[in-house]
Amino acid sequence: MKTEGGRIVSAAQQRNLNLRLLGAIAFQTHCPKFSYLTAKLRRTLSDVDFAGYSSERDPIDKMMREFGYSDQPMVTALFGSQRMIWDNKQSGMHVDIFFDRLQMNHEIDFHGRLELDSPTIPLADMLLEKMQIVHINEKDIVDAIMLLREHEVGKVAPETIDSGYIAKLLSGDWGFYYTVTTNLKNVEKALDNYPELTQEDRVDVQAKIQKLLETLDNEPKKLSWKLRSRVGPKTKWYNDVEEVNR
């Protein structure tokens, strides 16, 4: 799957298309030093996911068909401007492509972001991809641990997790802020659940989480954030996710 993901990104780049890995394969690709934690922490891999721009949808469609993939007509008809699911009957591979944004419990906007890194979406967006999940599960926690263990937290993209970008993004959205900060604390708590992690691993990830939380807390908040914070989690602060079944 990792090989296929790289092949598709490379082919897209040759066609001047902005197609970037996200999801589990992105974490494997962008965390070469600590990708072994996937196996040690029992993280299984499934499909290959990408982010792309809807303005490039037609040439991406053409490329995928040249690679032997077929789209799922019902998904394309309902969500084609936002998402397409592709199957390769010969290899058994499944590919999801999200256009312009990832719309789950919270929205991650990819406009102007895909040019910043390759072959994956930027590190900050990778972390947000996991931290936006309200009911976060173990596989997402494992991915977050691996990402934080591999990369420093800073304000210089793309080689560090851009905490400044995340802080500014969340400063106008209390709900997103609440989910992200809650999940960062959940990841920190979960570190003791994995005996496979060394003490050095735990200390390193914990320090980075604290640095992130401090940066998010210190960022000046917009009026909309302050007003929504008064209500708190008593009112639903996230979007429900509609699953697209294969």
Q: Is the peptide bond before 59 cis (omega within 30 degrees of 0)?
A: no
Answer yes or no: are the C-beta atoms of 115 and 89 closer than 8 Å.
Answer: no
DSSP category for residue 153: E
233 phi and psi, to 5 degrees?
Answer: -80, 5
Answer yes or no: are the C-beta atoms of 201 and 194 closer than 8 Å.
Answer: no
DSSP assignment of 199-222, as one string?
A: HHHHHHHHHHHHHHHHHHHHSPPP
Q: What is the pTM of this model?
A: 0.93
One digit per residue, pLDDT tens: the chain, 246 residues?
Answer: 678 899 999 999 999 999 999 998 999 999 999 888 877 666 666 689 999 999 999 999 999 999 999 998 888 888 778 999 999 988 888 999 999 999 999 999 999 999 999 999 999 999 999 999 999 999 899 999 999 999 999 987 678 999 999 999 999 999 999 999 999 999 999 999 998 899 999 999 999 999 999 999 999 999 999 999 999 999 999 999 875 444
Helix H, strand E, coil C: the string for 89-112 is CCCCEEEEEEECEEECCCEEECCC
CA of 19: how far to CAs of 51, 108, 208, in Å? 6, 16, 29
Q: How many CA atoms lie less than 13 Å away from 235 in the CB half-sphere? A: 8
Q: Where are the domains of the chain?
A: 2-234
